[in-house]
């Protein structure tokens, strides 16, 4: 509770800083250019392995390399290990990127919460100014109320649209 008025989020995102971050992200996208661009629907047909199955796949790959006589000449066991190692590398990258995404998400939540708290505090200050009959305070409070009203209407519309999309997806 003591954090409600504490401003913990101090990061500043200048356009230059955002451009540098986006360049790094573009670099990652470029490095991943040879990976597939798949939708949820695309991956439905693929078997989703558990991490624990990797050892089994490595063992079977070793057997396939050692006992090639049991498979047709067109069967290439080296493709198995290439896929296993690719999946492992992608899982590790995914974990690192998820850590970054979670950090961004959590900091966004803190920043928005602190901004929202600051807006609420300013509204209280303006309400006190109205009580003290300070010039212009009534007009500022009306603008705050209008902004709040528009925002609440927008939230209701967005939530209604989300419900409709969910209903359409399950129908």
SS (H, E, C) 14-58: CHHHHHHHHHHHHHHHHHCCCCCCCCHHHHCCCCCCCCCHHHHHH
How far apart CA 96 and CA 150 sit, in angstroms, is 39
How far apart CA 135 and CA 81 sit, in angstroms, is 75
> To which H or E segment does residue 138 belong?
helix 137-170
pLDDT tens profile 93-109: 999 999 999 999 999 99
Helix (H, G, I), strand (E, B) or coil at 97: helix
First and final C-alpha spacing in the chain: 43
For the cut 60, the answer to whether the pLDDT of residue 1 exceeds it is: no
For residue 43, the model assigns a pLDDT of 94
Mean pLDDT on 120-141: 97
């Amino acid at each position: 509770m003591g954090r409600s008025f504490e401003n913990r989020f101090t990061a500043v995102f200048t356009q230059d800083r955002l451009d540098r971050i986006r360049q790094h992200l573009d670099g990652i996208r470029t490095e991943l250019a040879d990976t597939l661009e798949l939708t949820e629907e695309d991956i439905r047909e693929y078997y989703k392995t558990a991490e624990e199955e990797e050892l089994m796949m490595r063992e079977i790959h070793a057997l396939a390399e050692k006992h090639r006589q049991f498979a047709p000449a067109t069967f290439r066991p080296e493709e198995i290990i290439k896929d296993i190692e690719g999946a492992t590398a992608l899982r590790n990258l995914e974990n690192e990127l998820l850590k970054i995404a979670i950090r961004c998400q959590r900091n966004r939540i803190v920043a928005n919460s602190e901004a929202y708290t600051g807006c609420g505090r300013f509204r209280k200050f303006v309400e006190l100014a109205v009580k003290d009959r300070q010039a212009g305070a009534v007009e500022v409070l009306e603008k705050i109320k209008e902004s709040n009203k528009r925002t609440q209407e927008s939230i209701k519309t967005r939530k209604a649209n989300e419900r409709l999309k969910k209903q359409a997806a399950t129908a």
